[in-house]
Amino acid sequence: MKFDTTTVSLVIAIAEEGSISRAADRLGLAVAAASKRVSDLEAQLGVKLFKRQPHGVKVTEAGAKLLSHIRQIDNLTQRLVGDALTVSHGREGRVIIGAPKSVIIPFLARDLAAIQRKYPGIVLQIVEENSRIVQKLLRDKVIDIGIYEKTAGFVDLPRFDYRQDHLNVVYSRKHFELPEGALSVEQLIELPIITLGRGSAILASLHRAHQSRGRVFRNDFTVNGFDSMLALVREGIGVGLMPPDILRSLHPEADIMSLPLEGDWHERSYMLSFIEGQAQQQTQRNVVEELLGQNLAL
């Protein structure tokens, strides 16, 4: 079966763009050539990957099933290129780590710096995604090590305790007058809340907090990052929830205040899982053991 890397990249681009022409433009291909590549591949596979529509294409049911395999081929190809570059430059190996920003800023950045000092020959690559996507990347063998929030865990892999943190309420005192001391859930759910988007551990925590009190979380204000959350908080659009270390890293002005929350629903535990067989075994062992602070029999 003829299955070159350009066709692999093209199929993935079409699925992401929803258009053959946009995907072709993204890869620098002529539209006619791109369309022929897709038709040839569909003929080889004996199934239609895409359904042509008036304004683009849609992945078929069969295409969706095969797309995960195609993504794995693309990931392996990229892995081959990256690892070859690592070897050609005399490095010990490359390890790809996926984690959410709430892990990278307060914990992982410092840990990785320590690993680089101890093992300067190891190349470390970081993929920043929310907890659910990190696990999908781990399951699809895109990354070697994944760190994710415990309650969002679904991968069938051994899990190891990594770190813990908690959320505080962040608000602008120009726009909100909140009582001193820890804020109860009952007080919090009466406020407009800005949260991270779908798949985030914070959003899941809010849903659980509301459900436990027979309430439905409106989810009126959703952002993709803590910096955007702070921007909306600053303008009084709502209050935010973020770990104290994240807030400090954003250097908030004096008008931005932070309050603790009552109970333990806002406390979070992060787990670490890894896939064996992708990275060089000893290289991966060194990285995992440094991250966990313990010796493991891999």
Alpha helices in the chain (DSSP H): 5-17, 20-27, 31-45, 61-88, 101-103, 109-118, 131-139, 185-188, 201-211, 226-234, 244-249, 281-292
CATH no. of 5-71: 1.10.10.10
Check residue 63 and give its pLDDT: 83
Find which of 7-11, 31-35, 63-67 is predicted with most confidence, using mean pLDDT. Answer: 31-35
**pLDDT at 90 exceeding the cut of 50:** no
CATH no. of 168-265: 3.40.190.10
**pLDDT at 175 exceeding the cut of 90:** yes
Cα-trace Rg, the chain: 23
Check residue 88 and give its pLDDT: 55
Per-residue pLDDT tens over the stretch 242-287: 999 999 999 999 999 999 999 888 899 999 999 887 667 888 889 9
**pLDDT at 166 exceeding the cut of 90:** yes
Beta bridge partners of 230: none
Check residue 16 and give its pLDDT: 86
Check residue 297 and give its pLDDT: 54
Task: Round the average pLDDT of the chain to a whole number and report it.
Answer: 86
Is residue 5 within 8 Å of residue 77, measured between CB atoms? yes
Return the C-alpha torsion angle 58, 64, 67, 72, nearest 10. Answer: 140
What is the third-level CATH fold of 91-164+269-292?
D-Maltodextrin-Binding Protein; domain 2 (3.40.190)
The reply to whether 5-71 and 91-164+269-292 are identical in fold is no
Find the mean pLDDT for residues 165-191: 92
| Cα 254 from chain centroid (whole Å) | 31
Q: Break the chain into its structural domains and give their ranges.
A: 5-71, 91-164+269-292, 168-265
DSSP SS3 for 150 = helix
pTM of this structure: 0.71
Per-residue pLDDT tens over the stretch 197-255: 776 778 887 888 888 888 888 777 889 889 999 999 999 999 999 999 999 999 999 99
- Residues with Cβ within 8 Å of residue 88, at least 6 apart in sequence: none
Helix pair angle (5-17, 61-88), 10° resolution = 130
**pLDDT at 177 exceeding the cut of 60:** yes
**pLDDT at 133 exceeding the cut of 80:** yes
